[in-house]
């Protein structure tokens, strides 16, 4: 009897073990499901026709954005110099690469790139987001890695070959495909729910200081002194608070220019010391400011435009009133109000959106 019971339990355990066996993972398959871009009240962007957004492609780009294998020693990812809590910018004046060396320019915020149609980086040297995506990997001052090495590392990781299958239909890992996937992810990184956006929708109100700052921001300077204006909107207008142009905003004289900016790309003397006009969205979180991070605070930035603009052969014509004796003559209250308004451009949902966070 005891032997019969023992055999019964042994058999039961055997079959139970068979039943709890780990299920075989289904092979990865191509998934062209489109990704729905949530643009809110923004105008429809001109997205690349040869790189349609898909859920699989955006996910692959997201994985790569946070992948430290893209760097020479496996210590850095794109996200290390573009942190979500800092509006995907770097709060250091210059990012430090894998060799411990500082970059040459302040890291720009990765945000609303779907509406940037005039080149990426401060000097516009990357025509499209896909071009921009690969340059930090190869830069000796940043990740200092080669594309063939990165491709080899990713191709040896089943997690990535499976995701390449889902995105492109096969497991062939190439640098071009990497750039397309990263472009897809970065095009989805949209900041459009700041309190100012809510104000425009009638869902929020501005304080008295914020409203005074708003009026100053969008008001031209009156040389006759009848109206006070800060002239900001000429360069920082539209839904993205940027005109997407390259301009010399009077940081240096001709003699003191140390970075020729756009001229390095175009070789046109008229582009000397011109840089991409950045978006002011989330500006309160993305200090330091300017291409070289020379200004640590918004107060310093406003002081520059009020009375610190320098004359040069390529300075923007719109700076004519900033350059006049005495500058814009903003009061301490004016400056405080402008900063209060700029802080309404902070989008807290962008900073916590799980769709942009590191994949779990």
Q: Is the pLDDT at 22 greater than 80, yes or no?
A: no
Confidence band of 17 (pLDDT split at 50, 70, 90): very low
Read off the pLDDT of residues 255-292 as tens digits, 9 standing for 90 and up: 999 999 999 999 999 999 999 999 999 999 999 999 99
What does the longest C-alpha to C-alpha distance in the chain come to? 111
Read off the pLDDT of residues 85-130 as tens digits, 9 standing for 90 and up: 999 999 999 999 999 999 999 999 999 999 999 999 999 999 999 9
In this structure, how many other beta carbons lie within 10 angstroms of the beta carbon of residue 235?
A: 18
Q: Is the pLDDT at 37 greater than 80, yes or no?
A: yes
Q: Is the pLDDT at 336 greater than 70, yes or no?
A: yes
- What's the pLDDT score for residue 221? 83
Question: Which is more confident, 73 or 229?
Answer: 73
**All residues at 6 or more sequence positions from 187 whose CB lies less than 8 Å from its CB, including other chains:** 37, 45, 47, 53, 113, 114, 129
Confidence band of 334 (pLDDT split at 50, 70, 90): very high
Burial of 139: CB neighbours in 10 Å, binned 0-12, 13-18, 19+ = middle
The structural domains of the chain, ordered by start, are 55-190 (1.10.760.10), 195-349 (1.10.760.10)
- What CA–CA distance (Å, rounded) separates 276 from 259? 13
The label of the residue with tokens 């501005």 reads: 206
- What's the pLDDT score for residue 33? 98
pTM of the model: 0.91
Q: How much is the average pLDDT of 51-57?
A: 98
Q: How much is the average pLDDT of 323-338?
A: 94
Indicate the SS3 state at residue 120: strand
Q: How much is the average pLDDT of 294-308?
A: 97
- What's the pLDDT score for residue 224? 74
- What's the pLDDT score for residue 8? 44
CB 100 within 8 A of CB 142: no
Q: Is the pLDDT at 223 greater than 90, yes or no?
A: no
In the predicted model, what is the mean pLDDT of the chain? 93
Quick one: CA dihedral 176, 177, 180, 185, positive or negative? negative
- What CA–CA distance (Å, rounded) separates 15 from 18? 5
Confidence band of 4 (pLDDT split at 50, 70, 90): very low
Q: Is the pLDDT at 11 greater than 50, yes or no?
A: no
């Amino acid at each position: 009897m005891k032997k019969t019971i023992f055999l019964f339990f042994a058999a039961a355990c055997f079959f139970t073990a068979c039943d709890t066996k780990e299920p075989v993972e289904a092979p990865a398959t191509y998934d062209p499901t489109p990704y729905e871009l949530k643009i809110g009240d923004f105008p429809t962007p001109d997205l690349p026709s040869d790189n349609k957004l898909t859920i699989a492609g955006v996910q692959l780009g997201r994985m790569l954005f946070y992948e430290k294998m893209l760097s020479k020693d496996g210590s850095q990812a794109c996200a290390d110099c573009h942190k979500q809590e800092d509006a995907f910018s770097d709060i250091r004046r210059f990012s430090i690469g894998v060799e411990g060396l500082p970059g040459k320019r302040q890291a720009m915020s990765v945000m609303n790139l779907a509406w940037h149609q005039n080149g990426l980086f401060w000097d516009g040297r990357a025509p499209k987001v896909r071009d921009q995506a690969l340059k930090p990997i190869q830069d000796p001052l940043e990740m200092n890695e080669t594309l063939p090495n990165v491709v080899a590392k990713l191709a040896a990781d089943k997690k990535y070959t499976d995701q390449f299958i889902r995105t492109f239909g096969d497991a062939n890992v190439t640098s071009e495909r990497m750039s397309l996937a990263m472009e897809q992810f970065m095009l989805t990184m949209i900041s459009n729910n700041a309190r100012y956006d809510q104000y425009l929708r009638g869902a929020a109100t501005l304080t008295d200081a914020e409203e005074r700052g708003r009026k100053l921001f969008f008001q031209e300077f009156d040389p006759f002194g009848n109206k006070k204006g800060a002239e900001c909107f000429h360069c920082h207008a539209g839904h993205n608070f940027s005109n997407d142009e390259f301009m010399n905003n009077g940081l240096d004289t001709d003699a003191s220019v140390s970075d020729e900016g756009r001229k390095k790309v175009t070789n046109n003397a008229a582009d000397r010391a011109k840089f991409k006009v950045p978006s002011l969205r989330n500006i309160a979180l993305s200090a330091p400011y300017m291409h070289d991070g020379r200004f640590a605070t918004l107060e310093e930035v406003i002081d520059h435009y009020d009375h610190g603009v320098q004359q040069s052969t390529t300075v923007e014509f719109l700076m004519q009133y900033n350059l006049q004796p005495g500058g814009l003559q903003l009061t301490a209250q004016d400056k405080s109000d402008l900063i209060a308004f700029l802080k309404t451009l902070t989008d807290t949902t962008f900073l916590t959106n799980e769709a942009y966070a590191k994949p779990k």
